[in-house]
Amino acid sequence: MSILEVRGLTIALPPGGDRRHAATQVSFSVDRGEIVCLVGESGSGKSVIAQAVMGLLPGALPVAAGEILLEGEDIARAGGPRLRELRATRMSMIFQEPMTALNPVMTCGGQIDEVLREHTRLSPEARRARILGIVREVALPEPERIVASYPHQLSGGQRQRIMIAMALVLEPALLIADEPTTALDVTTQAQILKLIQDLQKRHGTGVLFITHDFGVVAEVAHRVAVLRLGELVELGDRDAVLKRPRHDYTRMLIGAVPTLQPHGRSAEGASEPLLRTVGLGKTYQARGWFGRGREVRAAEDVSIEVRRGQTLGIVGESGSGKSTVARCIIRLIDPTAGEIRLHGTDIAGMSASALRPLRRRVQIVFQDPYRSLNPRRTVLEAVIEGPLNYGVPRGKAIERARQLMALVRMDPGSMSRYPHQFSGGQRQRICIARALAQEPELLIADEAVSALDVSVQAQVLELLEDIRTRLNLAMLFITHDLRVAAQICDHVAVMSRGRVVEYGPAAEVFGAPRHAYTRALFEAAPGRHFAFGAA
């Protein structure tokens, strides 16, 4: 029998939205011991469905039709008290952000204990034994110490393990995991995915796994449900859906997943490097009022070079120092050691006024398209701001902005609008146009496609590649995503803890990684052994 059966679930959206329902006639089931992945891009309604199952829907989004059967009981119509009984005992949920999902002023043990106190009549000793048992089971070291720790004393991966322990301590029949590894680094993600699979096998739990990442789907799913704008477009076994997708939308999504194979284009860069860093370093010194403060080495001894017509990728996990390097190069922060040679001129220690004429040569596109544009300025003002700063007459700047909008495949007529009227992908195109308006020689893309849905990501990557070739730019591409790096980079520098641990042509680094960290990184890439069949 199915643990969870969702039949014809329709969830209404408040009137005045872009569509009438957050979910329309969605039906699927989760069996005992099965992992079902709910996949979709942002706005597909996947999280809303998870919330509906947990009975956590906000009042503005009522269940309009259909039923949600948890072990045969319709919980779409269950009242608050009944839902509270069911949560944690029969179904539980883990969330994307383990920091905000845990109470920062309660110890981890205390938070697990709360679940036990609420739902069982165990004695304090029995509860303590149970807590230590589950903490041991989620493979946390030194359970006694972990149980007495506060969330901020643990790493992101450890916090997510605590969340999982809390969710599974009462052995629920259904576990809902809403993007549980999206906020984690790739190596941590691999461990958490493994843990969820292990526990699920051992306890026979049914798992509803929500994700946008097809690599993760390939790694964990037994069955896959693909959602698009609230409608279920395809449902089937993992291999059937990923290798022989039937629906056009699924095919498009899977086709947009970048492969881990380097692109293999020959990128003949110019002979002279445009930009070279020599022993670049950035040390943060927290100066206290009393005595010496802490020293944090964000980047150390980084020596890289980029030539025109080439893309250098800097790959690394969070905290590896890759963004620090980018921000030093564009001099948003001042490096504390080493040189940054642009055309041979060291700009590392240059004063603001001496730097000013050189600023236009290096431009940057940031990660978050929703925060990269001033919400109070029109797109036109954003794109012409740079040229106006350097004395280009307004008329000429506008003319150029029109050409650039066309270049990034946007309608030049939409330039009088404000950023909020554009989607994330469109905004990122505007940011690219804004950077190109300065006619730069080096374009830095700092996680520029990381916040985008996979289909949009593919388009923006293609655009960046096209622009780089057409304008013969040098590109510095910062990313945590190996697939994206393989897609676009000619050379790759792998960073870990502020240092470059491996540096070379993409084909070599991807083909035969030499450094142990690089190998670990590749090993952790989800779905690396899975051949997506979009053919």
For binding to another protein (CB under 8 A), which residues are involved?
14, 58, 60, 330, 332, 356, 359-360, 362-364, 366-368, 371-377, 385-386, 389-390, 418, 420, 431, 434-435, 438
Contact indicator for 274, 306 with CB cutoff of 8 Å: yes
- How far apart are CB 361 and another protein at their closest, in Å? 10
What angle, 0 to 180 degrees and rounded to 10, lies between the N-to-C axes of helices 248-256 and 454-471? 50
Q: How far is the CB of 399 from another protein (least distance, A)?
A: 18
Q: Which CB sits closer to another protein, 140 or 431? A: 431
- Using an 8 Å Cβ cutoff, are 362 and 440 in contact? yes
For residues 58 and 344, which CB has a smaller minimum distance to another protein in the complex? 58
CB of 120 to another protein, least distance (A): 36
Give the pair of three-digit tokens for residue 396: 């000429």
Minimum CB distance to another protein smaller for 104 or for 375: 375
- Nearer residue to another protein within complex by CB, 271 or 353: 353
How far apart (Å, rounded) are the C-alpha atoms in residues 454 and 469? Answer: 23
Shortest Cβ distance from residue 359 to another protein (Å)? 4
CA atoms within 13 A on the CB side of 381: 10
Q: Where are the alpha helices (DSSP H) in 257-321?
A: none
Q: Which is nearer to another protein, 120 or 414 (CB)?
A: 414
Taking the complex as a whole, the smallest distance from the CB of residue 419 to another protein amounts, in Å, to 9
Output the CA–CA distances (angstroms, integers) from residue 168 to 73, 152, 199, 206, 501, in the order listed.
21, 22, 9, 12, 39
User: Taking the complex as a whole, how short is the minimal distance between the CB of residue 184 and another protein, in angstroms?
Assistant: 23
Q: Nearest distance from residue 479's CB to another protein, in Å?
A: 16
Beta-carbon contacts of 62 under 8 Å, excluding residues fewer than 6 positions away, are 11, 12
Nearer to another protein, 42 or 421 (CB): 421
Question: Is 90:173 a contact under the CB 8 Å cutoff?
Answer: yes
Cβ closest to another protein, residue 356 vs residue 409: 356
239 burial via Cβ count (<10 Å: 0-12, 13-18, 19+): middle
Q: Are 318 and 480 in contact (CB under 8 A)?
A: yes
Distance CA 1, CA 15 (A): 38
Do 119 and 89 touch, CB atoms closer than 8 A? Answer: yes
Q: Which two tokens stand for residue 259?
A: 């492969």
Q: Which two tokens stand for residue 476?
A: 């510095």
**Cα–Cα distance between 160 and 170 in angstroms, integer?**
17
The two structure tokens encoding residue 263: 């692109």
Least Å distance, CB 442 to another protein, is: 11
CB of 372 to another protein, least distance (A): 4
Neighbours of 248 (CB within 10 A): 10
Burial 205-228 (b: 16+ CB within 10 A, else e): bbbbbbbbbbbbbbbbbbbbbbbb
* Min separation Cβ 353 and another protein, Å: 11
The answer to whether residues 424 and 342 touch, using CB atoms and an 8 Å cutoff, is no
Rounded Cα distance between 358 and 338, Å, is 19
First to last CA, the chain: 35
Closest CB to another protein among residues 29, 438: 438
For residues 252 and 350, which CB has a smaller minimum distance to another protein in the complex? 350
Contact of 406 with 427, CB cutoff 8 Å: no
Q: Provide, rounded to whole angstroms, the least separation between the CB of residue 466 and another protein.
A: 22
- Spatial strand order of the sheet with 73-74 comes to 73-74, 63-70, 2-12, 21-31, 231-237, 223-228, 35-39, 206-211, 174-178, 91-94
Angle between helices 379-389 and 394-407 (to 10 degrees): 120
For residue 306, the minimal CB distance to another protein (Å) is 17
Between 225 and 373, CB nearer to another protein? 373
Least Cβ distance, residue 507 to another protein (angstroms): 32
Comparison of 87 and 434: residue with beta carbon closer to another protein = 434
Paired strand residues for 340? 277
Shortest distance, position 62 Cβ to another protein, whole Å:
12
Which residue lies nearer to another protein by CB, 42 or 469? 42
Q: Which is nearer to another protein, 21 or 434 (CB)?
A: 434
Residue 141 or residue 288: which is nearer to another protein going by CB?
Answer: 288
